[in-house]
Amino acid sequence: YVVKDGEFALDNIVAAVRRALANRKTRVLVVDDVRSARETLTSLLQSQQYMVVETSSGEEAMAALQTYGDIELVITDHHMPDMTGYELTRKIRRRFGSDRLRIIGVSSSDDRMLSASFLKAGASDFIYRPFVAEELQCRVANNVETLTQLKQLRAAAACDYLTGLYNRRYFYELGPKIVTDCLRQKAVSSVAIMDIDHFKRLNDTYGHEIGDKVLTAVARRLATIFEGSDNLLSRLGGEEFAILFPMLDSSAATKLCDEIRSDISRLKVTADDEDLSVTVSIGVAEISDYETFDNYLNAADQFLYMAKHKGRNLVFS
């Protein structure tokens, strides 16, 4: 999501996630060994506009979860020949947390402890048969809504409020995983730290609000440059950005960073009827071994310091 002028990026990200989720149908997996029972559930779910996948056993259910990567809710019967719904619930929970996938147990058993067993095994909800259609539909809707809220929270937690870019937290969460993946494939990566030159001066001259506007414009430009790429862009804080270039060695990353440096220097930000421009300095470090992610960021930071020292508007590696 790329922010526009005068928008609070994070609010818009949250709204965009909500719209995206509202506009697409949720896929629900129904697991029951009795066909008529499956069909009852399916027709109730379809009347709520859900997409439904039916399976008649736990094994099939596990396979369906693999096949359809987007199942968000499983409604499972308990008594089934090969695997009980309780066992299926435990099995699913080893792979999917309740923040990714909701599970509702359904059973006509007269064992009143069954609902507690399901919930302890990680089910999100449980309904005894025979159930009132309305109640099942409400529980389904509540579970889907909870998942939507969790997704919005996750998106918000990963993003920077001002610019809408990924934040430092997310960069440090995902970065090491990407790097490790590359190293396993015997490929190096590179990381860059970019810092706007003399930003304090800009703030002092034009005020913090204009400073924010320039910062947002730089962020937006970077977001456009990296849109659709595998590179991980984030705002580390203040007027500093970090970019991870998976599978790119230092010389290729440096070349790319120099193009970005040049691009940013040509960026015009209109504020108070004036065209403002900024330059950036960038430090690039190659990640070729299993040292800590922090070590490589420190190395990039030292190169950034050299770029500043040598006069700014430069890339060092």
Footprint of ligand GH3 (CB under 6 A): 162, 195-201, 203, 208, 211-212, 215, 238-239, 308, 312
* Residues whose CB falls within 8 Å of the CB of residue 43, separated by 6 or more in sequence, listed in order: none
> Which of ligand GH3, Mg ion, none is residue 125 near (CB under 5 to 8 Å by kind)?
none
Q: Is the peptide bond prior to 176 cis by the omega test (within 30 degrees of 0)?
A: no
199 binds Mg ion (CB under 5 A): yes
> Which of Mg ion, ligand GH3, none is residue 257 near (CB under 5 to 8 Å by kind)?
none
**Choice between 240 and 258, CB closer to Mg ion:** 240
Residue numbers 156-195 binding Mg ion by CB under 5 A: 195
**Choice between 95 and 201, CB closer to ligand GH3:** 201
Q: Provide the token pair at 305.
A: 């310091």
> Which of ligand GH3, Mg ion, none is residue 162 near (CB under 5 to 8 Å by kind)?
ligand GH3
CB of 16 to Mg ion, least distance (A): 29
- Count CA atoms closer than 13 A to 247's CA, side-chain side: 5
**Choice between 162 and 187, CB closer to ligand GH3:** 162
CB of 276 to ligand GH3, least distance (A): 12
**Choice between 182 and 214, CB closer to ligand GH3:** 214
> Which of ligand GH3, Mg ion, none is residue 310 near (CB under 5 to 8 Å by kind)?
none
Q: Between β-strands 27-31 and 51-55, what pairing exists: parallel, antiparallel or unpaired?
A: parallel
86 binds Mg ion (CB under 5 A): no
> Which of Mg ion, ligand GH3, none is residue 33 near (CB under 5 to 8 Å by kind)?
Mg ion
| Residue nearest to ligand GH3 according to CB distances in the complex | 211
79 binds Mg ion (CB under 5 A): yes
Contact by Cβ (8 Å): 281, 308 = yes
Contact by Cβ (8 Å): 307, 193 = no
**Choice between 69 and 311, CB closer to ligand GH3:** 311
241 binds Mg ion (CB under 5 A): no
Residue with tokens 């947002």: 216
33 binds Mg ion (CB under 5 A): yes
Burial class (CB in 10 A: 0-12, 13-18, 19+), 18: middle
Residue 73, strand partner residues: 28, 102
**Choice between 7 and 33, CB closer to Mg ion:** 33
Q: Can you tell me the distance from the alpha carbon of 316 to that of 257, in angstroms, rounded to the nearest whole number?
A: 9
Q: Can you tell me the distance from the alpha carbon of 98 to that of 257, in angstroms, rounded to the nearest whole number?
A: 40
Q: Which amino acid is at 198?
A: H
